[in-house]
């Protein structure tokens, strides 16, 4: 149980275009979803935290107008990278927590974004 999926697995887009990444909890209701970004050989850096039906909370230095997060339901959160640039190329990973008291986060498989 506790499976999180992401779509797409990888995407290549041209500079200036927007890209949407979906994160779904397949067999549980995700009260909170997290979006991370990971550059090569670096750690995961939290970008934002989202709760269903409310605005996302962004970490310092993350542009909320550039990285639009929507958590429309308890099983779906989307991250839209608007006007993408080559420096946005990265590995984007979502995770979700359910109602378990162990605070375990379930990670999606990640989305590799390459902006040309």
Partner 1 sequence: QQPVQSPQAVILREGEDAVINCSSSKALYSVHWYRQKHGEAPVFLMILLKGGEQKGHDKISASFNEKKQQSSLYLTASQLSYSGTYFCGIFNNAGNMLTFGGGTRLMVKP
- Chain residues that interact with partner 1, rule: CB under 8 A: 32, 34, 42-46, 49, 91, 93, 95, 97, 102-110, 112
Q: Minimum distance from CB of 98 to partner 1 (Å)?
A: 13
Identity of the residue, 14 or 41, whose beta carbon is nearer to partner 1 in the bound complex: 41
Identity of the residue, 42 or 116, whose beta carbon is nearer to partner 1 in the bound complex: 42
Residue 16: how many other CB atoms lie within 10 Å: 10
Q: Minimum distance from CB of 39 to partner 1 (Å)?
A: 12
Residue 55: how many other CB atoms lie within 10 Å: 12
Token pair 């990285």 in the structure block, residue: 67
Identity of the residue, 89 or 107, whose beta carbon is nearer to partner 1 in the bound complex: 107
Q: Minimum distance from CB of 116 to partner 1 (Å)?
A: 19
Identity of the residue, 108 or 115, whose beta carbon is nearer to partner 1 in the bound complex: 108
Q: Minimum distance from CB of 92 to partner 1 (Å)?
A: 10
Taking Cα atoms as reference points, which of 57, 60, 61 lies closest to residue 69?
57
Number of H helices, E strands in the chain: 0, 11
């Amino acid at each position: 149980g506790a499976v999180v999926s992401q779509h797409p697995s990888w995407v290549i887009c041209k500079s200036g275009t927007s890209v949407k990444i979906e994160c779904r909890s397949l067999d549980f209701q995700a009260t909170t979803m997290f979006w991370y970004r990971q550059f090569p050989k670096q750690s995961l850096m939290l970008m934002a935290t989202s709760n269903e039906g409310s605005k996302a909370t962004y970490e310092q230095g993350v542009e909320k107008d550039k990285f639009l997060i929507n958590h429309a339901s308890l099983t779906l959160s989307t991250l839209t990278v608007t006007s993408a640039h080559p420096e946005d190329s990265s590995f984007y990973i979502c995770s979700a927590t359910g109602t378990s008291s162990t605070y375990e986060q379930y990670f999606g498989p990640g989305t590799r974004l390459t902006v040309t």
